[in-house]
Structure 1
């Protein structure tokens, strides 16, 4: 695995906060010149360490919510089942985990009937002994909102200002049609596209492309998202936390966990352990501290259970190699 130096890590952290900032803006934050920022970014992408992709609003590709899965294997090894599951286009996330269920997955199909059909196919896979499905009911945080603790306070504050200027989402007003839909498709693959590069494939003037670009992000149809293995940034222990709350406390627990700097995707699920979140710790010892001092102290929490992600083979529709290198982004088609 390639080792990132401190300037690489600071660049990756800045991009987590302001993924659409210009090279000049990022250079000013990091105290280097723009050509250095551009050159480092190109190397990280070329080596498969980092990707910036478009996180699309769920309603644009599905009429339902995701489902988390915990799988037990029988006649086949977990690695063999993982290999088969990785080929399912509906599988967003896939990992080998510790605990009684060696496989964790998150799937997102286009509809409830499609979800039922998908779960049936997964149940029928050779080697799958049992599947526990945890349908998502609501959420309080997505992976695109996670920020590694790498920058100093001044750098972080400046990046927050850049992000606020670039993206001011006001989601919930309509769906993209025509050239706006085309723009969403293009920006999913590269959300850093400027209006000058967007204009030609859309067949519009640069000024029109700029208005479309602004509207796509203003409406919350798409959000730029950085993908990188957490170990590159000092987070060597990814985990999944299952929480059983007091019946009336699920929303508050979900919100508190969603605001915690170590969690990425926090959901309320249809299960006895009714809140589930994925997160990143710096080490196993750090995870123990998080469980003992932070998560267990949240008002309304009755029980906690955590598994480690021993190996991730897919996250946000991007396959991952053994060394954490990123493959091609293959999101589901828009409806």
Structure 2
């Protein structure tokens, strides 16, 4: 059994800085965080080695426009959830697997595929045939206003944030779907596992030159094919309670509701989805008591939104391809390949 690791204020500041600048060098982060590059490197080695924090590539802003995201509620026979969660965690189409407290959904999945045909093959050809599955409800995202890389730890002060600068600069305006070749896919596989791999290490893994790798990674990030995230174990994030709200609203109000939800600091995901419930939002709340308070507050601010369900997460087994233990620490990787 691993020993418990206590995160210091410096650890939390480092993780917050990496949320903003996931691939920044230790020298670039030293001044804003307030520690030398060597100290930051050692801290990160300790945090990542203990599964407390990790950096990885995830689908970027181009993904929901040109490819397919679905939120899938899986009902299963009693006693089958744990085994089914482990089986689904092996699937490259399944980015996230969450055990839920919902009577109607034993598991909640984030499924990412290159398009609707691939989603159909996965749901009807594989998921529905898995032992223990009794029903599947597939909510296809028609737009995605917020995704997990926007959530912040909030450990840095205003001056430190200003010194780090605004993330995401240099991205080009959305265009046509980006064509990917074998080298791109090899780079994606490597970066999904470890988003801080340097260009020399990526070159060694792919057989390309470091200059070529640099250009390709710049293209993948600049066109929004990927974004980089720094994620962390539940303890570092304050042990939040993940709650997914489903709701419905008139189509004319959806954009405004999305903007209001996206402005909430605890918001992880906001999507427009198919079906009678046309809005899905995932919030990381401080405690269970805040679920009702937050829903009441949203009802007052958004009178045209009717919340139809609230799904409390009991345990996240896999998040964006990374396997987590019961404490939310990373224990391994089952890479996603949705591109």
Structure 1 residue 285 corresponds to structure 2 residue 289: yes
| Partner of residue 54, structure 1 | 57
CA contact (8 A) 1:188 1:222 kept: no
Q: Which blocks of at least 5 consecutive residues in structure 2 are unaligned?
A: none
Structure 1 residue 35 corresponds to structure 2 residue 38: yes
Once residues 143 and 318 of structure 2 are traced to their aligned partners in structure 1, the CA distance between those partners, rounded to angstroms, is: 22
CA contact (8 A) 2:65 2:143 kept: no
- CA-to-partner distance for each residue in 1:168-215, whole Å, 9 max, x for gaps? 354435434475565445444433344454555566665555444433
Q: Which blocks of at least 5 consecutive residues in structure 1 are unaligned?
A: none
| Partner of residue 161, structure 2 | 156
Given the alignment, which residue of 233, 236, 245 partners 2:240? 236
| Partner of residue 136, structure 2 | 131
Note the C-alpha offset of 1:63: 6.2
When normalised by structure 1's length, the TM-score is: 0.86
SS of the residue 1:307 aligns to:
strand
Given the alignment, which residue of 44, 47, 67 partners 1:44? 47
Matches within 5 A, 1:88-237: 88-101=91-104, 102-120=106-124, 121-161=126-166, 163-164=167-168, 168-172=171-175, 174-177=178-181, 183-198=187-202, 209-237=213-241
| Partner of residue 2, structure 1 | 5
- RMSD of equivalent CA atoms: 2.9
Structure 1 residue 276 corresponds to structure 2 residue 280: yes
- CA-to-partner distance for each residue in 1:99-151, whole Å, 9 max, x for gaps? 22322112223432332232223223222222222111111011112112222
When normalised by structure 2's length, the TM-score is: 0.86
Once residues 211 and 124 of structure 1 are traced to their aligned partners in structure 2, the CA distance between those partners, rounded to angstroms, is: 42
Note the C-alpha offset of 1:157: 2.7
Given the alignment, which residue of 315, 321, 324 partners 2:328? 324
